[in-house]
Each structure stands twice: as structure tokens, then as C-alpha cells.
Chains A and B, each alone.
Chain A
């Protein structure tokens, strides 16, 4: 993995003209939880790309819909075929900015909070969102995390009336990653 990080670093470094400091991971986490009286549904994806530019606060996240793992095969099938239509819309992404990047010092231990604003895309629909995010720096290790709610209908995900009670009207989403610095 070290080798890939190094190579990735060189590429990014040569691709950017500025001396911007970038942080990234390919093993970020994206998960969601739907909690209803009928059943709990949980999906986890541990193969999500995060790239953060510490100079500008630019943040990009991307993941594959089919890489979400579920407890039950049937949940995974319904998620991909009926709701997310992952053959047609294979990816989800976020492109935005950490609003208060100036107040986040990734070189100094501490916990920093900021709003993150940008475009969230899933199921072929892009929406502007603003969410709360936390950056934790401890002994050179950087963790970023955000929890927010998503309403399926906002992304043209139609849930039939017969199973509407089985799926929460607001889905709790968690995005989390340990970021590594790209070194030249």
C-alpha cells in the first residue's frame, strides 16, 4: 500500500502547480442506517475515496453503490436493484468545501469542527447540502467524520407504499476516514 500512496503522491504533486497540501485515503467509510419499528437496515462501504486539499478546503468523496455490504442478501438486492438502480447509477459522490478550513490545523493535535458545503450526488440526482464535520488530529493521525440525514425522495428514490414503513423517512448517513498526507 505504501508504494501506491507514494506513486499517488507523485502524480498529485506533479498535477498541481501550487504547493497545496493534500490528504487522502482509498479506504474511507460510508455507511447508512435506517431505523424503523419494522426492521433495521444497515449498509457499509469501506472502499471510499476521500481527497482533501488543506490549502483550499476542497473535499472530494466518491464510492461505488455496489460496494455496500448488508447483513441480508435480500436487503442488498433491493438496495441495488429497486432503490439505487446501481447498474444505471454506479457511483455516489460529494464535491465541496470545508467552510472553515482556516480554523482547522491538521498539523496540530486537537478536535476541529466546521460546516462542509457542496454537491451530493446519488441515484443520478445532485443536491446542494451543508453538513457538520469534525476533524480529529492526534499524534499525526487525522480522522474526519460527518453524520447527516438523507431523505430518499430528495434523490428520486421511490419506495413503494407496501414497504414504506420498513424504511426510515430519513436515512442516517455516516462518512468517516483516516486521511494520510501526500508527500512529494
Chain B
């Protein structure tokens, strides 16, 4: 009997450690393999946020994935690549941060489709963990 309890205990500890280890190293959620909540254009998305930020945030909060079509206005690179999509709003861009392992060879002026997790509105609309839509 004692042996049985001991065995069960060992299994429980190993399982707990396994779950803990998995949680600790859990991969970041990316937009790459998720179905988009909304498919839109850079202009439309900017318009939604600039006309009524509260309403737009209500719609897109909760880490919703948005798929956006637009023209590349600028590209910048630090530890991650950021792509700015132009909009007709002279103040605004869609600011997209690519996931680490996303290959990207586009250039300014290219039309692309990109999907990412909505982080909110801060003059620009920011999307994180973005992936290119092929």
C-alpha cells in the first residue's frame, strides 16, 4: 500500500513539474495560425479608431486578430521588424510589429496583407505578433 502511494506521489510530482515547465516555456501567441476576427483595409481600420476610439476598442480588445490590407509607408528594424501601413488619415498609420521568425523581403510602396493582434490606438493603430498573409 505504501509503495502504491509513493508511486502515485512520484507521478503527480513529475506531472506537475512537466506542466510547470511547459507553462514557463509556453510559446508566444502569434497571429500566424489564427483565423482573423476581422478582415479590413488600413484606411477602414484607421477610420474606425480615429472617429470613435472607445467603440473601436470595445470591438477589438481582448487580443483580437485583425487582417489588414495596405501599402507599406515605412519599414524599421530594431530587435523586431516594424512595418507602417499608410492610410488616408494624414496623422495615422497602421503600426505592425512582425513576429520574430517572420521572413520579410518587402519594400516601401508594396501592397501587402498582414494580420496581427490589436494593441490599441496611440495616434497610430498598433498591431503586435504580426504575420504576413500569403
> Which A positions have Cβ atoms within 8 angstroms of B?
1, 3-4, 7-8, 11, 26-27, 46-49, 62-67, 69, 72-74, 76, 87, 90-91
Contacts and interface: CB of A to CB of B under 8 A. Distances in A.
Interface string B83-94: 010000011010
Contacts of B26: 72-74
A62 B121 CA distance: 10
B122 A63 contact: yes
A8 B123 CA distance: 11
Interface residues of B, number: 33
Interface stretch (B1-9, B11-19, B33-41, B71-79): B71-79
B88 to A, nearest CB: 12
A4 B128 CA distance: 21
A27 B76 contact: yes
A4 B73 contact: yes
B120 A90 contact: yes
A7 B90 contact: yes
Contacts of A91: 120, 122
A82 B27 CA distance: 19
A76 B97 CA distance: 15
Interface of B: 23-29, 57, 61-63, 73-74, 76, 78, 80, 82, 84, 90-91, 93, 95, 97, 117-124, 126, 128
Nearest to A27: B76
B119 A64 contact: yes
Given A64-B119, A72-B24, A90-B120, 12 more contacts: A7-B91, A26-B124, A47-B97, A47-B122, A66-B63, A66-B118, A66-B119, A66-B120, A73-B28, A74-B23, A90-B57, A91-B122
